[in-house]
Structures are given as structure tokens and as C-alpha cells.
Structure 1
Amino acid sequence: MTSEGKPRALDVAELTAPGDVPSADVVDMAHRRQRHQDRLTGTLRGLPPEDTATADGSDAIAALVLGTAINVQIGDEQPPLMRQALQHGRTWSEIAISAGLTVDQARATYTTWAADLDEPERAEALQLAG
């Protein structure tokens, strides 16, 4: 909730597809996803019906939608973070593991991103790629 007590767009959105997720911070999306997952888990633990998942599976769908939205947003942030890791001497193997990718996928993600940068930033970024 905002300081005015009004619900945020993310708190009231009906989430059935990734496009339904309003612009939100990754942390806020992760918190909402956790609430849906907790409701799903609560059903298994025998919590009262008002504290558990909806019978129609909407909590499961919302958790999936938010997971996808989080992955997309984090994916957009990966190349700049990869660059920082490379600048600090980390290996492609370390970067790939941390990003949940293969080394080839990590390199491809990074070089595709770097190719769109303006010179001389592009040259520096591609030099880091090795």
C-alpha cells in the first residue's frame, strides 16, 4: 500500500498473462508472488479457507505470471551486471552459473546487448567479452 492507504496497481491487478503485470519493481513483484505461493502452500497445510488459495487456481496462475515478469525484467538487467562482473575479473563460467545460463548463452546475451551500445562503449564492452 502507498502512504495514502491506496492499493498499488500491482496489488489489485488480475494476473492471467505477463502483459497484465503493471510496471513494478522486481522486489514488489517478488513479494506479491510469494503471497500467492504462500496461499498455495497454506492449502496443503490445512489453513482456514480465507487464508488459502482460490479453488479456481488463480493463485497458481498469478504466481506463474509474476515469475515470468520477474525473469523478463531481470533478464533486461543481466548484461549490465555481466559487464560489471567482467570488469572485476570474474570468469564467463562464474557469470553463466550465476545467471542460470550456459557459458555460450551468457556470452551471446552479453555480446548482443553490447553490439547495440554506442561507440566507444561498445568497443570497451566487446573487449571485456574476450
Structure 2
Amino acid sequence: MPSEGRPLAIDTAHIATPADVPPAALISMAHRRDTHLARALGRRQDLGSTTPADSLAALALGVAITQKVLQEQRLLVQAAVEQGCSWEEIASALDAPATTVRDAFTSPADKQAR
């Protein structure tokens, strides 16, 4: 999604690997991925002709988005715990068993204290 005025780094970056993805909001990353995906699959001729770079960029952006979501997930679980949410509530939000979630997001020191 081209930004108004000066383009953002995500708008102009050459992306072939997840490391090529510049820091950006998830929505900007997702929009860029959708554009490459549409071109790669031939769904939108108005976006220009398909190149092999479109498939690679869509794949790399998918990985970068997943990594960012997982990083934010850890922070959000920590915030939920600090705000008094139960492991059952957090597990429900993550659609996973409470014991699995608690084990995945509890530090080794916290596990020993239990």
C-alpha cells in the first residue's frame, strides 16, 4: 500500500527473503504480500505482469509476517498474565490447551517455582 507522500521502505524494498523485509506495520506487509500473491497467481493483470520474483516475495513476506505475529504473541501473553488473565483464558484466546500454553510461555524459573 503506497503511503501518501514519501513511500515507506516496505513500498520500495526488493524482497526475496524474510531478511529483506524492512520493519513495517503488519497491514503494510500483508498488503504488499497480497499484491505479489495476486500477480504470482495471475489473478490481477492490472498489477503488472507476473515475474518469478512475485512468488519469492509473497513467500518471504508470509514468513516475515508469521515471525512478527509470533514475537507480538509472546508480548501479548506476558501482558495478559500481568493483567490478571488466567492461563485458561489465554489458552482459549490462542485456541490451545491451557497446560500447553502455560508450558510454552512460562520461563524455566517460573516452572521451578510451581
Question: How far apart are 1:18 and its partner, in Å?
Answer: 0.9
5+ residue gaps, structure 2: none
Between the aligned partners of 2:92 and 2:36, the Cα distance in structure 1 is: 32
Q: TM-score, normalised by structure 1?
A: 0.63
Residues 79 and 109 of structure 1 are in contact (CA less than 8 Å); yes or no, is this contact kept in structure 2? no
Structure 1 match to 2:18: 18
Matches within 5 A, 1:76-87: 76-86=71-81, 87=84
Seq. identity, % = 31
In the superposition, the TM-score normalised over structure 2's length comes to 0.70
Shift of 1:52: 4.7
Equivalent residues in 2 for 1:61-80 (5 A)? Answer: 61-80=56-75
Question: What does residue range 1-130 of structure 1 map to in structure 2 within 5 Å?
Answer: 1-3=2-4, 5-41=5-41, 43=42, 45=43, 48=45, 51-55=47-51, 57-86=52-81, 87-89=84-86, 91=88, 93-97=91-95, 104=100, 106-112=101-107, 126=110
* Gapped regions of structure 1 (runs ≥ 5): 116-125
Whichever residue aligns with residue 88 of structure 1, its letter is C
Aligned residues of 1:40 and 1:52 also touching (Cα < 8 A): no
State the distance in 2 between where 1:102 and 1:38 align.
38
How many aligned residue pairs are there? 108
Q: Distance in 2 between matches of 1:22 and 1:14?
A: 10
**How far, CA to CA, are the matches of 1:58 and 1:8 in structure 2?**
20
- Per-residue Cα deviation, 1:74-94 (whole angstroms, up to 9, x for no partner): 111112322444533351642
Give the drift of 1:7: 1.8
Q: CA deviation at 1:27?
A: 1.5
Displacement of 1:73: 1.1
The CA RMSD measured in Å over matched residues stands at: 3.1
Runs of 4+ in structure 1 off by over 6 angstroms are none
Change in 2 beyond 3 A, CA 1:35/1:94: same
